[in-house]
Structure 1
Amino acid sequence: MSNKVCKVLQGVAGALACLPMLAMAQSAEAERSGPDYQLLLAGGALSICSSMAANNCDEGGWIDNEVMRVDRYINLSDKYTKPLLDDDYWPFNRRETRDEVREALEIIRERVNEDIMPERVFVDEFTRRATQYLYENLSDSEWNLILDHLEMPVPAGMQEQVNVAESLNKEAVGVFEEFVAQAEKVRGTVAGGEDKPRIAVITASARDPYDAVDFYVNLFAELGAEAQWLPIDAAVYEAQRSGKCDAINEIREEQFGAWDRSRVHSEKYQQQVEFCKRAGAGIEMIENVDAVFINGGDQNLTRKALLNPLSQPSPLLTEIYSRVSSGNFVVGGTSAGTAVMTAKSMITNGTSAEALKAGARAAEPPVPGCNNNDSCPRDMNQDTLTYHPLGGIGLFPYAILDTHFSERGRQARLMRLAAETFTPMAIGVDETTALQVNVLRNEFRVIGERGVFFVVGAQQATNAVASTFHYLTSGASGRISDQDINAVRFATDGDIVQTEPTTRFLDDRGMIDSMRLLCRDRKQFNLLQGEYRLTVLADDNTRSQISGGECQVMNGRVGIALETPEKF
């Protein structure tokens, strides 16, 4: 199938038909030199030393407050607080809360004895003592409203700078280095290795898409690439479709809950407006880069940036499909930037505990913290498991994707969604870890600090889920289909896990930590957390191997259930 045919296909499923057909044909394009893997799917928490994140640095003496952006700044003067407290932003049932916010701002202003302060100072003050109760009862949208209105403009020319050498998290650096290395292999086939690899950064997953632009552009520059921002996001795509490129700020406020961003990031906002008005600007950028990286945040926002309301790919996304199907292009993402890659059902919200209680809903996700201001949709709460049944942007055709996986105990929610949607396989990627995939040769590799969890053949009852599972750590590799993985090679070494072990499995690493028992010839273990029980079984088909401090497993069985006490 030619790239020209790929471009005219409509819808995610249609466009994705290019990938497996090209793989089956073993096309000349797939066989030529280029990247080993077209996709890099990171599980989040790729912490890098920067002027805005000194806590990620070994040493912070390099940070110059005079020329680098080191914080967001809050202004509590009347000029900033009066617009925030306007009735238009606070529905009648939340006016009392609005008045409490006014009092809280006055208290903080008196305590600090300054109108202007770093955001971290403001947050510390708001979340303690007299104002802590108010903070805990605000919805996320209300908290964002407060921060957005009080944030001061970023000074012209001040950028967040990155220092890779000082980063404490070397595994995170390694994941980014591997992404650049794959982009460099693309550049090698295009320019004979004479130029730096070219990377475009999409920050559409963030509620404030401007804030992380400098971080990613400067990070990839530090790693030897030529990086640029691709300024697409959900508000921009909506503005393009409706012919309202001068109203991006208003669209962002009304539809996506981000206020006053054009005031705070005026230069980047104007860049977006110009991009919006230039038809084909995004396609031109994709044609001239070797790789695209998508940031973390909210996968639903990225989906809306690249798919129209009918779930048809934008011209920009169609061009990305075409480049990936050629075999000579790389797309990476972290957290939400990974979750959105799937062609299967796209997870958008939810906890493991709530998934076991109430199942999954094919619906827009509730607003975070909606329990606090009674804004949750009917029969939903802020922890409801939701998903998009038509999938994400469709670059990963094999399985549902989840991230921050073991660290947040997301096994039950992923198993529930796979069972609910009759999806044969679902994959969860741990933090500071990435799954690399060659979508033409159906090969994968795990890199980074921890591991990747594979759910196969999930089944469900009213308050229980069960499945076969595999868990592979950094260095493992194999082949992948939309049914299972095979030809797996276990990792043979790795770093010892430094975190304190836990048995909590609904919101922490309890299952993975306890799996070490399987590498000590145990055939079964049980964990309890409140009214929930997790059972893991090994049988004659189960294989296991230690790697560092973790136990890799193939063909284990896991069941997780809510055990409601009997009523007499």
Structure 2
Amino acid sequence: MVLIGDGLKICSSIDIRFCTSKDVFTDAAKGTTKFGLTSDNIKNVALADFWGEQRIIEQQQVIALLQHIANRLNNELITERELLRYFRGADVEVDGVWISGRVVYAALTDREINFVFDQLQVLVPTDTNKRNNDRKKEYADLSQTTDRFSVEIYSKIVELARQVAGPLRKPRILVVTAGARDPFADVDFYTNLFTEAGATASWFPINAAYQIAQQQRDTDKTACKQLPQLLAEYHGSYQRQRVYPQLMAELETFCQAGTEAAVNQLKRADAIFIADGKPSQIIQALRLQDGSASAELQQLDRMVKAGHIILAANSRASAALSGRSYQGIRTPMLTNGDSYSAMQFGAFDLPAPEGGCDKDQSCINGLAEHHLTFNSQGGLGLFPWGVLDSQLSEQGRQGRMIRLLHDSQSQFGFGIDENTALLVKLQATADNEQVIQFKVLGENGVFLVDNQSTETTGEGGNLTLKQVTTHYLTRDDTAELKQGLLRTQFADWKFAPNTMQMPMLVSGDIFERDNYRQLAQLLCLTQSRQADGKAVRVGQGHAITLYKDHSSHTRQGVYRQQGAEVQYCSYRNVLVDIQPII
């Protein structure tokens, strides 16, 4: 397995920030998405069934703003950035009252914004002088990518797939975009990227809409014709047949071919890459409505266990792999939340709230938008050894990982940083015991939590956690998990820090941005024995203490990449106490 923590920076025709120059791609490549404010598109935005009675005012304001912008554009197509600028910069008088586009936009939920933009998006044709359905495609160029860590991770997936394929042919890689709200948007990028990296790459168009249609086909032979409606219902994705007509046709053909054809396609693959997306949608793509594994998931599970396929997943798709049981304890799947809410309110075994639900009071089950939620039944069950999380350090998610392990009584958590991958290998010993080996690849590190020796008192916002065991492994460090015991090993090019400095280490807002990682790195690099932090809002919160004892070890080293030096500091058995501030 190759589990990626998101944040990979690849040069593409849509995002040239990571290219060696601005002239890597020609005009034949897709450089941006386009939007048209035609009367028909605006009429679709006004759909009363979508907005409902509770949001009629927001609907009317949005329509007034769009009509105002359309009058200025005179049928000109614009980019997403331009649409945002026009919308947020507009001021319109409605029934004698002036409304601000910036205020209206801030009041919209994620679901509403996506709906508006989908209804306005248009196909980007290859020839602007002709009316046809040939569209421009996004391309990637690894050789012109400035960030070599990102290139290294994608190249590693192809390298491992090549080992499965053998020397006689290119490795076959399937790309899954099932977790995306718009499952068509990144198809070109990923298939072209893996093709550029030396593989035969193709889209594996399994998603929630496909899986629902398969289950309906027994009673409704036209179910695959209903994919646009199913995409709207299960993905919140609209008008994709207008923007991506060829990909929609490919999805329908895949749907009509059925489960057996999908399984056969999996059997021929050497690797499968699951792009970032909502874990719940990835589960809906690979599990049936009763929660049982689909034929596609069963086949993938068999191939992963037998070592016949490389499984790679990016960001939240990695979290979706958690599940099954390890050492007699069910491994849950993390679905939502931030560290402050996690420590203050605990974890809830409930569906994750929708983004922006605080704005229109649509959050259900008494949850707020940032509450920590999880699925106790797990996700796909392909990674049973612990809870997985991504963008760990960059988003300050150490607190939510620790709290979820406590509340779900799980032992291990694996939090992967951005631009970093955790390589996972299953090995069997001579006496047929399973050993799981881990290795860190990429720019940053992996935060590991072992909850076995944690001491706790209190509950809810008054919960106190003491002696939580944590490790932070960086490039080339390894770990081995056997019979519930995790052993870590530092890379041989790293050495014990030789500084005698013992500064006072304090962070005022430890779970904001990457403050936790910065504090922990200072503790790692110096002779200080303790670092203190706080996570407080409106007078409520928790104090967090990181400290070393006799079992703690740290190692530092410098890695040279593209002429630059990257400094690492890894640690083992740094203990964490978290207690409420009274």
Q: Tell me, yes or no, whether TM beats 0.5.
A: yes
The one-letter code matched in structure 2 to 1:379 is: G
1:125 aligns with 2:86: yes
CA distance in 1, matches of 2:234, 2:580: 37
CA distance in 1, matches of 2:508, 2:288: 43
1:167 aligns with 2:154: no
For the structure 1 residues 348 and 506, does the alpha-carbon distance in structure 2 shift closer, same or farther, using more than 3 Å as the test?
same
Return the match for 1:522 from 513, 524, 528: 528
**Deviation of 1:420 (Å):** 0.7
Return the match for 1:248 from 222, 227, 242: 227
CA distance in 1, matches of 2:301, 2:551: 38
1:294 aligns with 2:312: no
**Deviation of 1:507 (Å):** 3.0
TM-score by length of structure 1 reads 0.87
CA distance in 2, matches of 1:295, 1:473: 23
Structure-2 residue corresponding to 1:497: none
Judge conservation of contact 1:200–1:291 (CA < 8 Å) in 2: yes
1:308 aligns with 2:288: yes
Q: How does 1:227-238 map to 2 (within 5 A)?
A: 227-238=201-212
**Deviation of 1:482 (Å):** 7.0
1:507 aligns with 2:469: no
For the structure 1 residues 110 and 285, does the alpha-carbon distance in structure 2 shift closer, same or farther, using more than 3 Å as the test?
same
1:73 aligns with 2:53: no
The one-letter code matched in structure 1 to 2:460 is: T
**Deviation of 1:246 (Å):** 1.3
TM-score by length of structure 2 reads 0.85
For the structure 1 residues 539 and 159, does the alpha-carbon distance in structure 2 shift closer, same or farther, using more than 3 Å as the test?
same
% identical equivalent positions: 28
Return the match for 1:413 from 367, 390, 400: 400
1:217 aligns with 2:191: yes
SS in 2 for 1:442: strand
1:456 aligns with 2:436: no
Q: How does 1:181-200 map to 2 (within 5 A)?
A: 181-188=159-166, 193-200=167-174
CA distance in 2, matches of 1:110, 1:247: 35
The one-letter code matched in structure 2 to 1:473 is: T
Q: Which moved more, 1:453-462 or 1:287-296?
A: 453-462
How many residues align? The count is 515
SS in 1 for 2:213: helix
Structure number having the greater helix percentage: 1
CA distance in 2, matches of 1:181, 1:296: 21
Judge conservation of contact 2:4–2:421 (CA < 8 Å) in 1: yes
CA distance in 1, matches of 2:246, 2:145: 29
SS in 1 for 2:263: helix
Judge conservation of contact 1:204–1:232 (CA < 8 Å) in 2: yes
Structure number having the greater strand percentage: 2
CA distance in 2, matches of 1:161, 1:106: 34
Structure-1 residue corresponding to 2:307: 327
Structure with more relative contact order (C-alpha pairs < 8 Å, separation 6 or more): 1
Q: Which moved more, 1:455-464 or 1:360-369?
A: 455-464
User: Runs of 5+ in structure 1 lacking a partner?
Assistant: 1-38, 495-500
Structure-1 residue corresponding to 2:131: none
**Deviation of 1:561 (Å):** 4.0
The one-letter code matched in structure 2 to 1:50 is: S
Judge conservation of contact 1:418–1:424 (CA < 8 Å) in 2: yes
Q: How does 1:481-560 map to 2 (within 5 A)?
A: 481=482, 483-490=484-491, 492=493, 504-515=509-520, 516-530=522-536, 531-548=541-558, 549-560=567-578
Q: How does 1:8-87 map to 2 (within 5 A)?
A: 39-65=1-27, 67-87=28-48
Structure-2 residue corresponding to 1:277: 256
CA distance in 2, matches of 1:489, 1:41: 20
Judge conservation of contact 1:503–1:514 (CA < 8 Å) in 2: no
For the structure 1 residues 45 and 362, does the alpha-carbon distance in structure 2 shift closer, same or farther, using more than 3 Å as the test?
same
Q: Which moved more, 1:389-398 or 1:523-532?
A: 523-532
User: Runs of 5+ in structure 2 lacking a partner?
Assistant: 91-99, 126-133, 218-222, 324-330, 428-434, 496-505, 559-566
**Deviation of 1:139 (Å):** 0.6
Structure 1 vs Structure 2 CA RMSD: 2.0
CA distance in 2, matches of 1:94, 1:194: 60
CA distance in 2, matches of 1:472, 1:407: 15
CA distance in 1, matches of 2:115, 2:533: 41
